[in-house]
């Protein structure tokens, strides 16, 4: 009896032997529902049980297969059972096996003279090399065949043994040999890259041959692995292109502008735009004049002057009769925008509105009415702008600052605000998180990219020093001198154990101590639990020069702009990542005087922390720091994907596989043009249900 010819993507795992409802549910937890899903669940490492190793040549840390004869057994049953078994082999070497859980039968099987075959990790014990709880079998008459293949180890979940994975993938591989798996990528793409076919790659990864180089395999560098990573990158590109194409079918209001307001703002500025600012302003101006919604990512290091670019874009939209929404991730940053925009726009007769979570009741109702009537031309705020009751009369441009704090879905949700059935507002997304270009192309393939790659003139690089906290008093003296000299300083207390409450307490305590030690210094405190008007008052006073020293938690990370502040102390900088340190440090160095940053660390430093502080001291540009950061950590961590819900990859790693990214983009172009029928199956295979999530 033969089954009708069916693709493996349509055969559910419950059709495999040994898969009942319980196993099926466990597999589903890992996103595995079909035989195809199972084939794409590839091992993350391999064991070599094909060779026996002599006991005399073992080293700690290795996972090995060994055989030996029991020389001696020692141990007791009882409340804390412990069994020691000494093995010896013909090489003259010995090994101690330790068991902590064992039964009577097991113990009785371990008799001097019995031969054992064991697999496990070799460790250095107090007296000799040891294996703790190895997998073992008793060799009855000596001649048991060795494995003929490397043993795959699968990422697993509770209740699924490696032996089950092997049994399941055995069946899946048999089915793969008999029935076709859709070959996602055309041969003309694969051939020049020297990558194997999908079937060959899968067979190799699940059941590598004896001569496979294990390190290449488990680190993802082998062509078989790269084949899958490449296909995933292509699928990801296709998905984002599809998103983009869908946007292209939507109309946006043409916001060509008149130049009237923009000219007046430019004339009022005490400085000229940098060439880089001019370039991106022009790129945005062109986009806004089109009938298709702009989807542009504006990258620029801290202090590069993104806010002004945003203001000019906003004015172009307002000149054209549209409303503008400007969203920031925190209230503090949003306040900062408000101050900047009020200073620039109020003289032009544009009165910005401000809408954040704390606006309630009548105040909120009045704001909403102004937005709905279209009287409010520019509305600034936080997540509060997302809410359903916020209705715009004619939203034409959405600007999002510090995009990395928001997820893809949030970005799309705000866009949906101004959308009719067939229309959507323009979108400008700004970020100071420098994302290396290759990574940006992977993660934001649905966006155009503008980069401000130049800082305004007259900025002097910040001098950064690392000082152990045993020299805290010297640092305090330094703060006193700076303040006496008429300058201002930040003292940043960093996160303790992920607890905002503790962090705030630490900041309060530090502020109290510093106030004692620096009685002549005017000191202010801001942290996450000081809210609203109180915080605004402190920030305002610091910005106005009425406070000399601002003690703060990392809430000041983004946006705060006080040019006279030229000294920053960061306590326990070893707790922070490079990107965050760079963002914090960017709060100083905004004026013309030489700025300093002191990293007041708590010794001893771990090697990784030492390396991070070294990089932050020597590197100035955010892009350089981001590249180094990428080398030290994964892409996910750099972008904070876990918090933001940005894209997760199954096999690919955009950092490790950077070399494949450009090829994946070309492949996506070619597939869309010449093999449009392959797009949907590829996206379905790799993103499946997740694409639905991304395109909400
Ligand atoms: P970021 O890109 O980090 O958001 P900001 O927009 O806050 O940077 O700009 C930092 C500071 O630089 C602000 O005080 C801003 O007024 C100033 N600035 C912006 N553009 C220029 C320029 N072309 N020349 C001089 N100063 C500028
Ligand atoms: Mg900014």
Nearest atom, ligand 1, residue 310 CA: 6
Q: Is there an atom of ligand 1 within 6 Å of 564 CB?
A: no
Q: Is 274 in the pocket of ligand 1 (CB under 6 A)?
A: yes
Mean pLDDT for the stretch of residues 56-67: 91
Evaluate if residue 689 carries a pLDDT over 60.
Answer: no
What does the CA dihedral 163, 166, 172, 173 come to, rounded to 10 degrees? -160
Q: Across residues 526-538, what is the average pLDDT?
A: 81
pLDDT at residue 294, rounded to an integer: 92
Q: Sorting pLDDT into bands at 50, 70 and 90, what band is 218?
A: confident
- Is the peptide bond between 396 and the residue preceding it cis, with omega within 30 degrees of 0? no
Q: Closest ligand 1 atom, CA of 307?
A: 6
User: How far apart are the CA of 431 and the centre of ligand 2, in A?
Assistant: 8
Q: Which range is least confidently modeled, 194-208, 306-320, 384-398?
A: 384-398
Q: What is the mean pLDDT of the chain?
A: 85
CATH topology assigned to domain 260-452: Rossmann fold (3.40.50)
Q: Do domains 260-452 and 463-619 have the same CATH topology?
A: yes
Q: Which two tokens stand for residue 385?
A: 């702008």
pLDDT of 415: 60
Angle (nearest 5°) at CA 689 between 686 and 691: 70
Q: H or E segment at 449?
A: strand 448-452
Give the residue, out of 273, 308, 565, 585, with the most ligand 1 atoms within 8 A of its beta carbon, to mutate for a pocket test: 308
Residue 389 has pLDDT above 60, yes or no: yes
Other CB atoms within 10 Å distance of the CB of residue 57: 10
Closest residue by CA, ligand 1 atom 19: 305
Ligand 1 site, residue 100, Cβ cutoff 6 A: no
According to the model, what pLDDT value does residue 696 have?
Answer: 25
CATH says 51-146 is which class?
A: mainly beta
pLDDT of 89 reads 94
pLDDT category at 560 given cuts 50, 70, 90 is low
Task: Let me know: does 447 contact 296? Beta carbons within 8 Å.
Answer: yes
The pLDDT value recorded for residue 256 is: 95
Buried b (16+ CB within 10 A) or exposed e, 405-441: bbbbebbbebbebbeeeeebbbbbbbbbbbbbebbbb
- SS3 category, 301: coil
In the reported structure, the alpha carbon of residue 561 is separated from the centroid of ligand 1 by a whole-number distance in angstroms of 9
The C-alpha angle with vertex 397 and arms to 391 and 398, in degrees rounded to 5, equals 75
Instruction: Please indicate whether residue 275, judged by its CB atom, sits closer than 6 Å to ligand 1.
Output: no
* Cα dihedral sign, 571-576-579-580: negative
Write down the domain spans for the chain: 51-146, 260-452, 463-619
User: Is 333 touching ligand 1 by the criterion CB < 6 Å?
Assistant: no
pLDDT digits (tens, 9 = 90+) for 113-132: 999 999 999 998 888 999 99
Mean pLDDT score, 531-547: 85
Region 463-619: CATH code: 3.40.50.300
State percent of the chain over pLDDT 70. 89
pLDDT over threshold 90, residue 318: yes
Distance 304 CA to ligand 2 centre (A): 8
> Which residue owns the Cα nearest ligand 1 atom 10?
303
Check residues 655 and 695 and name the one with the higher pLDDT. 655
CA separation (Å) from 639 to 243, 575, 644?
Answer: 21, 17, 8
Ligand nearest to the CA of 400: 2
pLDDT digits over 601-650, tens only?
988 888 778 888 999 998 877 777 777 776 665 554 444 433 333 456 77
**Atom 23 (ligand 1) nearest CA:** 273
- pLDDT (0 to 100) of residue 638: 45
Give the number of whichever ligand sits closest to the CA of residue 344. Answer: 1
Which is higher by pLDDT, 674 or 412? 674
């Amino acid at each position: 009896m033969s089954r009708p010819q069916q693709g493996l993507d349509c055969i559910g795992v419950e059709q495999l032997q040994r898969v009942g409802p319980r196993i099926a549910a466990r597999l589903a937890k890992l996103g595995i529902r079909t035989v195809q899903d199972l084939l794409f669940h590839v091992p993350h490492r391999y064991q070599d049980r094909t060779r026996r190793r002599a006991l005399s040549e073992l080293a700690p840390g290795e996972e090995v297969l060994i055989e030996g004869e029991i020389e001696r057994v020692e141990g007791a049953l009882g409340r804390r059972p412990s069994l020691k078994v000494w093995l010896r082999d013909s090489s003259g070497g010995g090994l101690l096996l330790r068991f902590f859980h064992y039964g009577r039968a097991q113990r009785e099987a371990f008799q001097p003279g019995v031969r054992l075959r064991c697999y496990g990790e070799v460790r250095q014990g107090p007296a000799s090399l040891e294996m703790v709880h190895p997998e073992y079998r008793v060799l009855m008459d000596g001649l048991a065949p060795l494995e003929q293949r490397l043993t795959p180890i699968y990422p697993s979940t509770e209740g699924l043994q490696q032996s089950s994975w092997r049994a399941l993938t055995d069946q899946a591989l048999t089915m793969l040999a008999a029935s076709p798996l859709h070959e996602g990528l055309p041969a003309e793409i694969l051939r020049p890259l020297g990558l194997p076919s999908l079937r060959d790659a899968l067979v190799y990864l699940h059941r590598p041959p004896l001569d496979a180089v294990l390190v290449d395999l488990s680190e993802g560098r082998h062509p078989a692995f790269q084949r899958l990573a490449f296909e995933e990158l292509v699928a990801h590109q296709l998905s984002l292109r599809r998103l983009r194409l869908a946007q292209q079918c939507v109309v946006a209001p043409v916001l060509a502008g008149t130049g009237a307001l923009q000219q007046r703002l430019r004339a009022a500025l005490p400085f000229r735009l940098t060439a880089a600012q001019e370039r991106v302003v022009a790129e945005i101006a062109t986009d806004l004049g089109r009938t298709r919604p702009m989807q542009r990512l504006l990258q620029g290091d801290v202090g590069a002057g993104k806010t002004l670019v945003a203001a000019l874009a906003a004015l172009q939209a307002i000149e054209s009769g549209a409303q503008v929404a400007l969203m920031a991730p925190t209230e503090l940053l949003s306040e900062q925008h408000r101050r900047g925009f009020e200073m620039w726009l109020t003289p032009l007769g544009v009165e910005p509105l401000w809408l954040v979570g704390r606006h309630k009741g009548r105040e909120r109702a009045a704001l909403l009415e102004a937005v709905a009537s279209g009287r409010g031309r520019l509305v600034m705020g936080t997540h509060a702008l997302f809410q359903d009751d916020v209705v715009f009369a004619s939203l034409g441009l959405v600007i999002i600052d510090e995009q990395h704090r928001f997820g893809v879905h949030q970005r799309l949700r705000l866009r949906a605000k101004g959308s009719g059935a067939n229309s959507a507002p323009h979108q400008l997304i700004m970020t100071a998180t420098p994302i290396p270009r290759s990574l940006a192309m992977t993660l934001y393939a649905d966006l155009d990219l503008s980069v401000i790659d130049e800082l305004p003139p007259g900025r002097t690089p910040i001098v950064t020093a690392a000082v152990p906290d045993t020299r805290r008093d010297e640092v305090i003296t330094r703060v006193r001198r700076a303040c006496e000299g008429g300058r201002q300083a930040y003292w940043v207390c960093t996160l303790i154990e992920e607890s905002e409450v503790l962090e705030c307490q630490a900041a309060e305590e530090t502020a109290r101590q510093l106030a004692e030690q620096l009685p002549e210094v005017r000191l202010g405190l801001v942290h996450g639990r000081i809210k609203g008007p109180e915080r605004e008052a402190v920030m305002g006073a610091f910005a106005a020069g009425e406070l000399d020293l601002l003690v703060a938690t990392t809430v000041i990370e983004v946006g705060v702009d006080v040019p006279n502040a030229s000294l920053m102390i960061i306590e326990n900088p070893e707790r922070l990542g490079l990107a965050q340190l760079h963002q914090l440090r960017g709060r100083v160095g905004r004026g013309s005087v030489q700025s300093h940053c002191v990293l007041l660390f708590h010794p001893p430093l771990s090697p990784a922390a030492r390396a991070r502080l070294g990089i932050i001291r020597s590197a100035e540009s955010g892009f350089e720091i981001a590249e180094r950061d990428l080398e030290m950590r994964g892409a996910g961590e750099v972008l904070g994907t876990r918090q933001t819900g940005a894209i997760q990859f199954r096999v690919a790693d955009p950092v490790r596989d950077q070399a494949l990214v450009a090829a994946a983009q070309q492949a996506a172009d070619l597939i869309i043009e010449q093999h449009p029928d392959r797009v949907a199956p590829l996206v379905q295979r790799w993103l499946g249900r997740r694409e639905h999530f991304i395109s909400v």
